[in-house]
Amino acid sequence: MNPWLIATPTVLTAGAGLIAYAARHPRAQLFGPVVSYTNSPRKLAITFDDGPNPSITPQFLDLLTRYNARATFFLIGRYARECPSLVRELVARGHVAGNHTQTHVNLFRTGPSHTRDELRRCQDSIAAASGIAAPPKWFRPPWGLRSPWLGSAVSELGLRAVMWSLLPGDWRASNEQWLIDRSAPIAERGQHAAANSTGDILCIHDGSHDRQNADRTHTLAALAYWLPRWRDLGLEFVTIEEAVSTPAL
Ligand SMILES: [Zn+2]
């Protein structure tokens, strides 16, 4: 059954343009609250989607350790079950494991019970893989796509939804320089941090939703380029937990 047939009257009368905005825009709150910025211009939250990826996640972890950087990994549940040691490793290094659904489903096309099931199964997969009792507290919808019933599913599981302030599009990078250039807005804003009240949430990918062992070497190279430069600008690399905690840096 098409889940939109049972959408709330408010949503159905909202119009296609507004629905598209609410479902896709990284700062739209119409389908439930989302976090799109950190609470300080000095805090940069680096977030990785679609892992863990055994072919390259270990290299991202080593790079982050070199710069004493903590980050957030929004994991696909079935990959977490396939690679539990990687989940344990990233948690042991101080990073946050977040929920990115069990199978990377399009939640705009998924009905209420299927939506809840995808989120719950991913919670279980990450908890089982990590060996920690506490399930994830943070959630990122695949492709950033949301629906009118996502907000209640997210809050029922004690989750908070996270979007981003910068999505450079690393999955379509044909070389590292393209991706380095696309990530420049973070440094530009970092140079004028005193004029801002919020900081960036960067969304990049250590894996791919459609295959395991995806090649993310351009992403790794661009991050290796920017980390020392961001550090020189005074940016702190924080988890999404730290990105919203008080006091702000
Ligand atoms: Zn994804």
Which one-letter amino acid corresponds to residue 185?
P
Q: Which residues make Cβ contacts (< 8 Å) with residue 26, sequence separation at least 6?
A: 34, 36, 144, 163, 164, 165, 167
Per residue in 174-214, pLDDT (tens digit) is 999 999 999 999 999 988 888 889 999 999 999 999 999 99
Distance 106 CA to ligand 1 centre (A): 10
pLDDT of residue 118: 98
pLDDT of residue 16: 83
pLDDT of residue 12: 58
Distance 49 CA to ligand 1 centre (A): 5
CA atoms within 13 A on the CB side of 4: 13
pLDDT of residue 205: 98
Q: Is 25 a catalytic residue?
A: no
Catalytic residue among 95, 100, 104, 205, which? Answer: 205
pLDDT of residue 121: 98
Indicate the SS3 state at residue 74: strand
User: What are the structure tokens assigned to 22, written together?
Assistant: 């609410």
Q: Is 205 a catalytic residue?
A: yes
Catalytic residue among 49, 50, 170, 206, which? Answer: 49
Q: Which residues make Cβ contacts (< 8 Å) with residue 228, sequence separation at least 6?
A: 67
Residues of the chain with pLDDT under 50: none
pLDDT of residue 237: 98
Distance 209 CA to ligand 1 centre (A): 6
Closest to 106 in 3D by CA, of 14, 4, 228: 4
Measured distance CA(35)–CA(40) in Å, rounded: 13
Indicate the SS3 state at residue 50: strand
Distance 192 CA to ligand 1 centre (A): 31
Distance 166 CA to ligand 1 centre (A): 15
